[in-house]
Structure 1
C-alpha cells in the first residue's frame, strides 16, 4: 500500500513540535527549581532580615518549599506544556501509523519515538499521583536527548516495513518492548537522583542540587514500584521476541547484538528485584544496579544500532 505523504509530513511536524514543547516545559520546570528554596535557605534569609530564625531551624533533609506562589504557577505551566507535548508526540506516532497503514514502530526512529512517548505518559501519571512534579525536568532531559537522536541520526522516512517485519508479532512484541522500555527509563532516572539525594542527606554533598529533590526514601520507593511493573512486561516482550525469531529465522535465540543486550538488561533488572526481595537491599547498592539497568536500556535502545550490525539491523538503520 502506498504511503500517504501528507500524513507522514504532518507526523514529522508533530514530532518536531513535541520536542520543542518538551524543551519549553523544561525551561519552566527549571525556573520553578530556581525559585524554590529549602527550609534551611528560608530560615537563613529570615534570620538575615531579623526574623529571629536560626540557620539550623530545620534539618538538611527537610522537603523543599516554594519561595512564592509564582514558582508553583510556573511549575503548573510547565506541566501543562508537558501535556501539550505528549499530545503532539502521540499525534506524531498515530499519524505515522495512518500514513503507512501499520503499527507505527516498524523502524528504529518510530520505535524510539514510541518508547519516549510511553515514558513521558508514565511520568505524567506518576507526577500527578505522587506530587513529584519538580522532578520532571530531570525526566524530560534524557527523553529530549533520545528524541533528538531519533529525529536526526535514526530518522527514517515513512515506508512499508521489510518483509521480515510483516507479521502480527510486530504489534505484539514491539508494543510490549516499547511500553516496558519506556517505563523502565523512569526508575533509572529516579535511582540516579536517589544517589545525589542520599549523598546530600549523609554528609551534605551536592547541596545546591540535591536539597530540592524529594527524600531519598521516596525516590527509592518510586524506582522500585515502577520497576516491579515494567519488568514483567519486559519479560513478556523477550519471550514474544523469541517465539517470533523461531518463526522468522528458525531459532529461538541466536545471541544477535540486540538480543544479547536485551538479555543483559533483563538480568540486571532481575538481580535488582531479587536483591530487594531476598537480601533486603535498599539504598545505594540497589540504586546503582538500577542505574546500570537504565544505561543498558538506553544503550540497547539507540547506540547498539549505530555501532553494530545484526539480524535486527533491517529496522531502518543503515
Structure 2
C-alpha cells in the first residue's frame, strides 16, 4: 500500500509540474494576443475629422468613404484571435491537469489534499484560474489579460513546488476531522478567487490613472501608457473585481465561522486570538470595509480599489509570514 501511495504521490507531482508548464504556454499565448491583437489598434488609426460640409449642399464627411486605417490590423487579427482562443484552451487543459494532480494527491494521502502550505497553495492557484475562466465567460473582452492572471498563479505554484513543498503523508491526528474539508475548502476557494480580484484591481488602477492623465493639456505618454491603452474600460475592470469579491466574501465568512466551530471541538474554545485567527479576522474586516465602500458614493473607484489590495496584502501576509515566522496553534498545518 505504501508503494502504491508513493507512486500516486509521484504521479501527482508530475501532473503538478505539467500544469505549471501548460499554464506557462497559455500565458505566453495570452501575452502574444495582448501585444499583437486588435486591442488598442484603434489608437493607431488616423483621427476622424469633425463633421463639416464638403461643399454647399455636400454630404458630411462622415458619409464620405474615408480610407480606413485598419487593413493592416485586420490582416493580423485572425492570427492573434486564434492565438487567444488556443491560449484559453491551454488554460482549460492546464486546469484539468491541475485538478487531476490534486485528485491523485488525495488518493496518495487518503484524505483531502490541503493539509499543508504546498497543498493549500495548489488548490488556491487552481481556484484563481477557474475564477478567471468564470469572469472570462461573462466578459470575453478581457481574454487578452490572461497573462496577468496566470503570472501570479505560476509564481505561487512554483513557490509551492519548491520552498513550500511537502511530501505526501497521512494527516496528523489534529487534522483528522471533517471540518478540515469544510473549513479549508471554503478558505482556499475564497482566497484563490480574491487573488484574481486583486490582479483585476491593479489593472483597474493603471487604467483609471491613465484615463485621468490624458484629460490634462500637458499630458505626455508615460511608461504605462501602452499598457493602459490596451486595457478594457476602467469600469469593466472595476466591476469584474467587485463581483469576484462579492462572490468570495460570503464563502470566507462561512469559513471563519466553521473554523471557530472546529476550534471549539479541537481546543475547547471558539476563538483565542491565535495569530492565524487574528489575521483571518483582519482580512474579513478589510474586505467588509471594501464592500461597504463600494456602496458608499464617496469611496467608490480608486479609494475602494486600494482597500481591496490591502485585503489581499493581509491574505498574503497571513499565508506566508504568519505560517512561516509566527508560532501558534496553526503553525503545524500552514492553513488559513
TM-score using structure 1 length: 0.90
CA distance in 2, matches of 1:93, 1:66: 42
- 1:111 and 2:120 aligned: yes
Specify the alignment match of 1:237 in structure 2. 255
Alpha-carbon distance change, 315 to 85 in structure 1, aligned in 2, over 3 angstroms: same
Specify the alignment match of 1:30 in structure 2. 31
Specify the alignment match of 2:160 in structure 1. 150
Alpha-carbon distance change, 71 to 257 in structure 1, aligned in 2, over 3 angstroms: same
CA distance in 2, matches of 1:34, 1:159: 44
Q: Contact 1:193/1:219 (CA < 8 Å) preserved in 2?
A: yes
Which runs of no fewer than 5 residues in structure 2 stay unpaired? Answer: 49-65, 215-221
Deviation digits for residues 16-35 of structure 1 (CA, Å, limit 9, x no counterpart): 11111111111111111110
CA distance in 2, matches of 1:72, 1:66: 11
Specify the alignment match of 1:5 in structure 2. 6
TM-score using structure 2 length: 0.85
Secondary structure of the equivalent of 2:45?
helix
CA distance in 2, matches of 1:126, 1:266: 23
Per-residue deviation at 1:53? 6.9
Specify the alignment match of 1:135 in structure 2. 145
- Cα root mean square deviation, aligned: 2.4
CA distance in 2, matches of 1:20, 1:299: 27
Per-residue deviation at 1:45? 11
Q: Contact 1:4/1:99 (CA < 8 Å) preserved in 2?
A: yes
CA distance in 2, matches of 1:65, 1:156: 50
Per-residue deviation at 1:147? 0.7
Alpha-carbon distance change, 316 to 287 in structure 1, aligned in 2, over 3 angstroms: closer
Q: Contact 1:185/1:297 (CA < 8 Å) preserved in 2?
A: no
Specify the alignment match of 2:172 in structure 1. 162
Per-residue deviation at 1:67? 4.6
- 1:199 and 2:209 aligned: yes
Per-residue deviation at 1:203? 0.9
CA distance in 1, matches of 2:313, 2:138: 26
CA distance in 2, matches of 1:261, 1:145: 23
Specify the alignment match of 2:63 in structure 1. none
- 1:179 and 2:180 aligned: no
Q: Contact 2:323/2:334 (CA < 8 Å) preserved in 1?
A: no
CA distance in 2, matches of 1:303, 1:85: 29
Q: 1:288 aligns with which of 289, 296, 306?
A: 306
CA distance in 2, matches of 1:218, 1:29: 19
CA distance in 2, matches of 1:45, 1:143: 40
Structure with the greater alpha carbon radius of gyration: 2
Q: Contact 1:174/1:237 (CA < 8 Å) preserved in 2?
A: yes
- 1:98 and 2:107 aligned: yes
Specify the alignment match of 2:43 in structure 1. 41
How many residue pairs end up in the alignment? 305
CA distance in 2, matches of 1:221, 1:129: 11
CA distance in 2, matches of 1:299, 1:11: 28
Q: Contact 1:66/1:72 (CA < 8 Å) preserved in 2?
A: no
